[in-house]
Amino acid sequence: MHGIEATWVRQVREVAGVLAKDSFLELFDLSVRFSEGRCTVVVVLDKADGKVTLTDCETVSRDLEKRLDELDLVPTAYVLEVSSPGMDRPLRGPADVLRFQGRKAHLVTKEPVNGQSSFEGRLEAVEGETVVLRVSAEKTVSLPWGWVKKANLVVEL
């Protein structure tokens, strides 16, 4: 984003963060997409227990749309999408690894580690900035978080 766009997006992020907090949620992510002449403001909410409900999304969506219209922050017609990070949510750092310890995850490294750049297993521990992933009953892999390009929880049914 450039100049004026960055300013209004930052303001939208601030408003969304306050409204999320007022609803005992946190703003996980906010992005703006332009496609085919259409602006979409995408808000992703999170909750400490990880269980963002449809009602949570509806409440924040209604309140945010009203507030954005009052403040006239978005300089064009827009569509607002509000959701949760999902069951396969991204992991953003060691704190998320601790939060979801014991859950199955998929990590992709920036460079191969022992010839491998894709790892799947249970989030076992965090040692400083290093994530320990149990890839089998007998084997763990330790990956410095700085080496991780992408990390997501794996949906287990």
Average pLDDT over residues 65-76: 94
What is the percent of the chain with per-residue pLDDT over 70, rounded to a whole number? Answer: 97
Can you give the residue ranges of every domain in the chain?
A: 3-83, 94-153
The pLDDT confidence band at residue 3, using thresholds 50, 70 and 90, is low
Topology classification of domain 3-83: GMP Synthetase; Chain A, domain 3 (3.30.300)
Is the model's pTM score more than 0.85?
no
pLDDT for 40: 95
Cα–Cα distance measured from residue 153 to residue 137, given in angstroms and rounded to the nearest whole number: 19
Q: Convert the pLDDT of each residue in 43-70 to its tens digit.
A: 999 998 778 999 999 999 999 999 999 9
CA 146 from chain centre, in angstroms, equals 18
* Cα→Cα distances 6→33, 34, 75, Å: 13, 14, 12
Q: Convert the pLDDT of each residue in 14-32 to its tens digit.
A: 999 999 999 999 999 999 9
Helices (H), 79-134: 94-99
pLDDT for 5: 55
What burial class does residue 155 get, using C-beta atoms within 10 Å of its C-beta: 0-12 exposed, 13-18 middle, 19+ buried?
Answer: exposed
pLDDT for 37: 87
Q: What is the DSSP letter of 89?
A: P
Q: Convert the pLDDT of each residue in 109-130 to its tens digit.
A: 999 998 999 999 999 999 999 9
> E strands, 114-156, where?
116-127, 130-134, 140-144, 148-153
**Per DSSP, what are the bridge partners of residue 118?**
108
Helices (H), the chain: 3-22, 54-71, 94-99
- In whole numbers, what is the pLDDT of the chain averaged over residues? 93
* Cα→Cα distances 46→20, 28, 37, 89, 150, Å: 9, 6, 29, 10, 19
Is the pLDDT at 132 greater than 60, yes or no? Answer: yes
Query: Is it true that 3-83 and 94-153 share their CATH fold?
Result: no
CA 59 from chain centre, in angstroms, equals 19
CATH of the domain spanning 94-153, picked from 1.20.1250.40, 2.30.30.180, 2.50.20.10, 1.10.3720.10:
2.30.30.180
Identify residue 99 by its one-letter amino acid code.
R
